[in-house]
Amino acid sequence: MYNSKITGLGFYVPDNVVTNDDLSKMMDTNNEWIIERTGIEERRWIPEGSEDTTAVMGAKAARIAIERSGLTKDDIDFIVFATLSPDYYFPGSGVQVQDMLDMPTIGAIDIRNQCSGFVYALSTADQFIKTGMYKNILVIGSEFHSSGLDKTTRGRGVSVLFGDGAGACVLSQTEDKSKGILSTHLHSEGKYADKLIVSSPSSTKWFPELVATEGKDLSYYPHMDGTFVFKHAIVRFSQAIMEGLSANNLTVDDLDMFIPHQANLRISQFVQHKFKLSDDQIYSNIMKYGNTTAASIIIALTEAWEKGKIKDDDLIVLAAFGSGFTWGSAVIRW
Ligand code: UT7
């Protein structure tokens, strides 16, 4: 049996900064409300006319991760791409990256697990490496949210939260069992699917049906029961952390860095206080980027690593919760 470890990290966000004050010119919202409820100060939104898309941003982040891993694109055996906002209904964004990076005809899959997308993608890649099937896998999380948000007062409960961006890592085989991905745990509870959902267009409601409602059916915009999601998030985040640590006979005292999915600074602070984590034991960057869903953990991990906050032998826990509901954790010895 092999183990897998992260050997290269990269992220890319569009240059275009959208502040809370910018949003207040589009809808009835204000800086104070957004900061108090979410901690978000600004986010990046792809500007009109940009070449960036979910796949393009994913490829940009991937190039950096591959270069930092010391490998070349030709050393990558497989691509796992997590997103809820793919360029196309089909094919997935992973195959686009295979083409954009001019890679050999390796396999590529997309993971559709929203805010838990990166944890699911990492876990999927980890299994392929642990079985010995692949040696180096490109794992990407990328989202182009801003094109699909209701940027009017009607959509303010959701649209102020989300940002665009991408992160990527190279996961490589190692024979050192004490390093790398120690465990991943994944969960779902589909009975709450409608609490955070984009329900159309779908195979049961295609464009002609939507158009026939003459703008009355808005189910192509994200719908979220924010308070309900928040209450479940704080419980599931805590469970995900404990499950990962206990499976490895570790405790919160062993934790060097917790990187939560960046959904809401209040959720992260709740978890920080519950587990009595110091400010150095948790990384948050939602203030700058908003919620970038499948990209959020890998952007945060990359940024923390770039700032020197992640060192050799550190114990890192990643945890996510979101639409599905889905949630999960990854425990990593760096
Ligand atoms: O990443 C996937 C997982 N997602 C999450 O974990 C998100 C979880 N939920 C949340 O983070 C929070 O529920 C939100 C930040 C989305 C909302 O915060 P809240 O404290 O639950 O606010 P609320 O939805 O209960 O709304 C409170 C009030 C309402 O007004 P009334 O009914 O009290 O008069 C809203 O209409 O705030 C109003 N409101 C706004 N006001 C200004 C909602 N959105 C806005 C806005 N600006 N953008």
| Beta carbon of 37 within 6 Å of any ligand 1 atom | yes
- pLDDT of residue 193 exceeding 90, the answer is yes
Structure tokens at 17: 């900064």
- pLDDT of residue 322 exceeding 90, the answer is yes
Residues whose CB falls within 8 Å of the CB of residue 80, separated by 6 or more in sequence, listed in order? 94, 108, 109, 111, 121, 122, 124, 125, 137, 138, 139, 140
CATH architecture of 181-333: 3-Layer(aba) Sandwich (3.40)
Determine the distance separating the centroid of ligand 1 and the alpha carbon of 230, expressed in angstroms.
10
Task: Give residue-wise pLDDT tens across range 73-93.
Answer: 999 999 999 999 999 999 999
Measure the CA angle with vertex 278, ends 235 and 120; round to 5°.
45
Report the atom number in ligand 1 closest to the C-alpha of 23: 48
Q: Which residue has the tokens 């079985």?
A: 131
Percentage of the chain beyond pLDDT 70 is: 100
CA distance 269 to 278: 11
Report the atom number in ligand 1 closest to the C-alpha of 159: 48
Between β-strands 42-44 and 78-82, what pairing exists: parallel, antiparallel or unpaired?
A: unpaired
Determine the distance separating the centroid of ligand 1 and the alpha carbon of 38, expressed in angstroms.
9
Q: DSSP label at 46?
A: P
Residue 271: predicted pLDDT:
96
Q: State the sign of the Cα–Cα–Cα–Cα dihedral 57, 61, 66, 67.
A: positive
Q: What is the mean pLDDT of residues 194-201?
A: 96
| Beta carbon of 227 within 6 Å of any ligand 1 atom | yes
Query: In 17-52, which positions are buried (b, 16+ CB within 10 angstroms) versus exposed (e)?
Result: ebebeebbeebebebeebeebbbbbbbbbbeeeeeb
- pLDDT of residue 188 exceeding 90, the answer is yes
Query: Taking the model in full, what pTM does it have?
Result: 0.97
Of 86, 226, 249, 112, give the one whose Cα is nearest residue 159: 226
Task: Give residue-wise pLDDT tens across range 100-120.
Answer: 999 999 999 999 999 999 999
| Beta carbon of 192 within 6 Å of any ligand 1 atom | no
Determine the distance separating the centroid of ligand 1 and the alpha carbon of 152, expressed in angstroms.
15
Measure the CA angle with vertex 145, ends 149 and 143; round to 5°.
165
CATH number of 3-176: 3.40.47.10
Report how far Cα 161 is from the mean position of its chain's Cα atoms: 14
3-176 and 181-333 agree in CATH topology: yes
Task: Give residue-wise pLDDT tens across range 41-78.
Answer: 999 999 999 999 999 999 999 999 999 999 999 999 99
- pLDDT of residue 1 exceeding 90, the answer is no
Domain ranges of the chain: 3-176, 181-333
Catalytic residue numbers, as ranges: 115, 261, 291
